[in-house]
A and B are shown apart, each in its own frame.
Chain A
């Protein structure tokens, strides 16, 4: 790994930690909780079920990938560790979608607008790295998906969650108007 790559990872991690710390501090000041409010009893129940769904999706996906690579193809499709990361991201995605679908994503005090801003910014932040890696042609090397595909995978995940949030907000507005 080159020095510039390691610097990129280090700066990314530091910026990420600072942003998360700022969000948590802002939420704590405003609502007294780090997630920006409390989930009610129905939401807590559904979030537990969503976590279960995400966790089992991750396990099943890991197993299927193992079967595909070790028993069927007998060659790797991705770099070591990338498949595990993608399985975790898909699990997180399933958790997020399940929560959004069952109205358990936003806390009682949360404003969906804040989430839309956060996910839009996060999705946009992935675009330069994704385009750069695609242009370099380094995403797939010798038929193996490399870690340089992570910005693309994260971008797709954040964009999907953002789309789901926007659809949910529109549906909630319609419900509010009908009520």
Chain B
């Protein structure tokens, strides 16, 4: 399932996938895969993304 909340939060900060990927230390393709719902990230990566976007786990990843 697509993670549109992550995409919206990223776009809200005017960040590209590449910029977010650099902030959390992963490849751009990994961010793209998470947004498309093709990859289910570990809690470690979820937390890193939340910190980079200033959001909580509930706001970005809780269904």
Residues of A participating in the B interface, judged by any CB pair closer than 8 Å: 38, 40-43, 103, 106, 108, 172, 175-176, 179
Contact = CB atoms under 8 A, between A and B. Distances in A.
13 contacts: A38-B25, A40-B26, A40-B30, A40-B45, A42-B27, A42-B29, A42-B30, A42-B33, A108-B21, A108-B27, A172-B29, A175-B32, A176-B18
A179 B16 contact: yes
B25 A108 contact: yes
Contacts of A38: 25
A28 B32 CA distance: 28
Given A40-B26, A41-B42, 20 more contacts: A38-B25, A40-B27, A40-B45, A41-B41, A41-B44, A42-B26, A42-B30, A42-B39, A42-B41, A43-B27, A103-B29, A103-B33, A106-B27, A108-B25, A108-B26, A108-B27, A176-B28, A179-B16, A179-B17, A179-B32
Secondary structure call for the B interface:
helix
